[in-house]
Amino acid sequence: MKDAVIRFGSIGSAVVLAVVAGLACASFAADARGVVPVIPQASVSLSGWAAVAALWLVAWFVALGVGKMVNTAVGLFAGGCVLGVYAMRSGTVLDAAFDAASPSGIAVVSIAYAVLAVMISWSTFAFAGPLPDMPADPEELPEHGFGAFRPQQLVAALASIAAVVVVVFMARTDSKGQAIGAVTLGAMLAAMLARSIRSRTQPVVVFAAPALALGLAQLVLSFSSGVGFDDDIVRGTVAPILRLMPMDLAAGSLCGVALGYGMTKSGGADESEDD
């Protein structure tokens, strides 16, 4: 009973902290229109960069703290919620066009945020331990250095292609909720597939793989999208993947993968010991 109270109290406190931290960081990063730019820009001066740095630090500490008190998946979900609150306050592709942000610039920031998500995932697994319901291969755990990035991890991360497919079919408007929801749902599906492919592989890389896959897809699409979004918006031809902003990807990836693994606790086939 005591453990349950601590567990639910930790989750509740993390949600409150996520909302407060996300809103506080967003208020410091907002521009003159009251909108948080999709990427920190010179128009926001140093406060925008400081707000983003503080946001990632808070998300990291929340993931570590909740992960240690509950488990790693819940910790990373809580960290993703911190990013998600900020993402909900940030701009859409229309605001990106207003700020003269380029598709390639957004893609680069998306990839950078995915790398930060990998770092949060790796450190949370190292600090809070492996997922308790998965029989882990000891050599793939973070305490063995970069063993968490062995080929088995990369094979599981290939399931993130599913997130790209889901986004293509779901991100059809400029709605911020639809963008984050599409990434989250795609990441959930990717997690389910990753667990069925590698049931004994701790998903250190998988937590950030959907964000990285979508960021790379944005980079590829940016080569054929010109220097800005203006013409595509006027013609209504903005690619679904380019409707997603960097923080949407990071938040949806962490939260979606956590939900996907949580929904498939008994799923996945056993892998052989010599895999």
Q: What does the alpha-carbon distance between residue 202 and residue 66 come to, in Å, rounded to a whole number?
A: 18
* Domain chopping of the chain, boundaries: 2-263
Residue 168 CA: distances (Å) to CA of 4, 15, 48, 225, 240: 40, 30, 30, 16, 5
Q: Which residues pair with 90 in a beta bridge?
A: 36
pTM score of the predicted model? 0.86
User: What is the model's pLDDT at position 266?
Assistant: 52
Token pair listed for 235: 């013609």
Distance set, CA 102 to CA 54, 111, 177, 203, 219 (Å): 25, 14, 22, 32, 11
- Joined together, the tokens standing for residue 213 give 């896959």
Number of CB atoms found within 10 A of residue 43's CB: 11
Sequence-ordered list of residues with C-beta below 8 angstroms from that of 77, at least 6 positions apart, any chain: 254, 255, 258, 259
Q: Which residues of the chain have pLDDT under 70?
A: 1-7, 10, 31-34, 40-47, 135-150, 226-228, 230-231, 233-234, 236, 266-275
Closest C-alpha to 216, from 118, 106, 117, 95: 106
Would you state the pLDDT for residue 117? 96
For residue range 110-122, list pLDDT tens digits in order.
999 999 999 999 9
**So what's the pLDDT on residue 207?**
95
Which among 105, 63, 97 is positioned nearest to 251, based on CA atoms? Answer: 63
The single-letter code of the amino acid at 110 is S
Cα separation, 169 vs 21, whole angstroms? 32
- What tokens were used for 46? 């140093």
pLDDT of residue 206: 92
- Per-residue confidence (pLDDT) for residue 32, from 0 to 100: 64
Question: Can you give the pLDDT at residue 274?
Answer: 43
Environment class of 42 (CB within 10 Å of its CB; exposed 0-12, middle 13-18, buried 19+): exposed
